[in-house]
C-alpha cells in the first residue's frame, strides 16, 4: 500500500506540473482587412489577453520639427491611429483584465535601427498617449511599452518611457527585447531608467530565433536562446519586475514557418497541411515556454493582412491553439510500451516530463526507481481524481490571471 501511495504522490506532483500552462496574448495590428475582423477575437477573451499595436510611419518626415497635423497627415498615421484606438476601446470595454499596448515608433526602417527619437515620433507618441489616457482613465488595466530598439540611445529610451509614465500614471510599463539585444544590454537600460525615476514593471522577449527554430518533428527554441530567456527573467525577478514572452510568430499556413521566422514571405505555403502545421508549431513552443514556468506568451498576430503572413484570423484550426492554452496537457500515449515500463526513464511519461521542465524530468526519473508500479487500471484509479482537480485549479488560476491586474 505504501508503494501505491508513493505512486499517487508522484501522480499528484505530475498533475501539479500541468498547472504550468501559459496564457496567450494575441496582438491586433493596424494592417488588417479593415472590415471588423479583429472582433472575431473578442469571444475568446475569457481565454486570452488582447494587445493593440500603435505603429508610426515617419520615414519621409526625417529629423525635422513638424506639427502634429503634418505627422498625422503623413502616410498611414491618421488612419492607423483611428483604427487602433477603436480596437483598444472595444477590447478594453469587453475585458475585465489587462489590455496590452505596444508602440512601433517606426515601420520603415525597422525600429531596431532607430538611434534617436525624432520630433515627429515624439509628437505622434504624445498625441496617442493622450487619446489612450482619455479612454482608460490614465492607463488603468493597461500594460504599455515598446520593443526591439537595440540601437536606441539611453536618452531615447528615457524620452519614450517618461512620456508613457506621465500620460498613463496607472499603467504598467514593459520593454521587449529580441535576441539581437542580450540580457546584459537590457539590464543596462532597465537600470538607467530606474536611476532616472522610471521603473519598468516587466521585461520580455520576442522569440524569432535566427536562422531557425530547432526542428525534429517538433519545433523548439534553440538552447542558446533559452539561456537568454532565463537570464533576463532572472534579472527581472531579482528586481521585483515580471517577465513574459511578448511575441512568438509563425507564418500562417507555411509548412516551413519555423525556418527564418522573421521572414515576411512564405517559403512553402500549403493551406491543406500548413494551417494545421502552424498551430502545431505554436503549441510546441508555447508548451516549451510553459515548461520553463513562463505564464504569458504573446502570439504574433491575430488580424494581420495586406502582406502580413502572420495573421491567424483565417486559420480554421485556431480554436485548437486557444483550447490547448486553457487545458492541461496529457502525457503522450505509447501503446508499444509495457505497463510496467511506462514510468521508466526514457518511457513516455519521462519523455513528456523532459519537455515540461527540468523539475518534472527529475520527478520522472524518481518514479522510475519506484519498487512497484500499478497496473494501468490501478494507475487510472489513482490519478484520475488528481488530474481532475489539477485541471479545475488550472482553469481557475487562468481565469484569475486574465481578470486581475497585474496579470
**Tens place of pLDDT per residue across the chain (407 aa):** 444 334 333 333 333 333 347 899 999 999 999 999 999 999 999 889 999 999 999 999 999 999 999 999 999 999 999 999 999 999 999 999 999 999 999 988 889 889 899 999 999 999 999 999 999 999 999 999 999 999 999 999 999 999 999 999 999 999 999 999 999 999 999 999 999 999 999 999 999 999 999 999 999 999 999 999 999 999 999 999 999 999 999 999 999 999 999 999 999 999 999 999 999 999 999 999 999 999 999 999 999 999 999 999 999 999 999 887 655 444 333 333 323 322 222 333 333 333 333 333 223 333 333 333 444 444 443 344 444 444 444 444 444 444 444 44
**pLDDT given at position 326:** 57
**pLDDT given at position 257:** 98
**pLDDT given at position 189:** 98
Tell me the pTM. Answer: 0.79
| HSE value, Cβ hemisphere, 13 Å, CA-based, for 217 | 0
**pLDDT given at position 354:** 37
**pLDDT given at position 89:** 98
Amino acid at each position: 500500500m505504501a508503494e501505491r501511495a508513493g505512486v499517487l504522490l508522484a501522480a499528484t506532483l505530475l498533475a501539479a506540473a500541468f498547472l504550468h500552462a501559459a496564457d496567450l496574448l494575441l496582438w491586433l495590428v493596424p494592417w488588417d482587412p479593415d472590415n471588423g475582423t479583429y472582433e472575431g477575437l473578442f469571444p475568446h477573451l475569457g481565454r486570452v489577453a488582447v494587445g493593440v499595436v500603435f505603429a508610426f510611419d515617419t520615414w519621409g518626415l526625417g529629423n525635422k520639427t513638424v506639427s502634429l497635423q503634418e505627422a498625422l497627415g503623413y502616410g498611414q498615421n491618421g488612419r492607423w491611429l483611428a483604427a487602433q484606438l477603436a480596437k483598444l476601446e472595444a477590447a478594453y470595454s469587453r475585458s475585465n483584465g489587462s489590455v496590452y499596448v505596444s508602440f512601433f515608433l517606426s515601420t520603415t526602417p525597422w525600429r531596431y535601427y532607430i538611434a534617436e527619437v525624432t520630433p515627429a515620433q515624439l509628437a505622434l507618441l504624445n498625441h496617442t498617449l493622450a487619446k489612450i489616457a482619455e479612454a482608460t482613465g490614465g492607463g488603468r488595466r493597461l500594460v504599455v511599452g515598446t520593443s526591439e530598439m537595440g540601437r536606441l540611445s539611453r536618452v531615447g529610451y528615457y524620452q519614450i518611457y517618461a512620456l508613457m509614465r506621465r500620460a498613463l500614471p496607472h499603467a504598467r510599463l514593459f520593454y521587449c527585447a529580441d535576441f539581437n539585444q542580450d540580457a546584459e544590454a537590457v539590464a543596462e537600460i532597465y537600470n538607467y531608467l530606474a536611476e532616472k525615476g522610471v521603473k519598468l514593471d516587466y521585461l520580455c522577449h520576442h522569440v524569432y530565433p535566427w536562422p531557425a527554430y530547432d526542428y525534429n518533428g517538433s519545433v523548439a527554441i534553440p538552447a542558446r536562446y533559452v539561456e537568454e530567456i532565463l537570464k533576463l527573467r532572472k534579472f527581472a525577478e531579482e528586481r521585483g519586475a515580471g517577465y513574459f514572452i511578448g511575441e512568438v510568430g509563425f507564418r500562417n499556413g507555411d509548412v516551413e514557418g519555423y525556418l527564418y521566422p522573421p521572414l515576411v514571405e512564405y517559403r512553402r505555403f500549403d493551406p491543406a497541411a500548413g494551417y494545421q502545421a502552424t498551430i502545431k508549431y505554436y503549441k510546441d513552443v508555447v508548451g516549451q515556454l510553459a515548461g520553463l514556468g513562463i505564464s504569458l506568451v504573446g502570439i504574433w498576430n491575430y488580424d494581420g493582412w495586406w502582406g502580413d503572413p502572420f495573421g491567424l484570423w483565417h486559420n480554421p484550426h485556431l480554436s485548437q491553439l486557444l483550447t490547448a492554452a486553457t487545458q492541461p496537457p496529457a502525457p503522450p500515449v505509447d501503446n508499444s510500451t509495457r505497463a510496467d515500463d511506462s514510468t521508466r526513464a526514457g518511457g513516455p511519461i519521462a519523455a513528456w516530463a523532459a519537455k515540461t521542465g527540468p523539475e518534472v524530468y527529475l520527478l520522472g526519473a524518481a518514479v522510475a526507481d519506484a519498487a512497484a508500479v500499478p497496473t494501468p487500471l490501478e494507475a487510472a484509479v489513482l490519478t484520475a481524481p488528481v488530474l481532475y482537480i489539477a485541471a479545475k485549479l488550472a482553469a481557475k488560476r487562468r481565469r484569475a490571471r486574465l481578470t486581475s491586474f497585474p496579470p
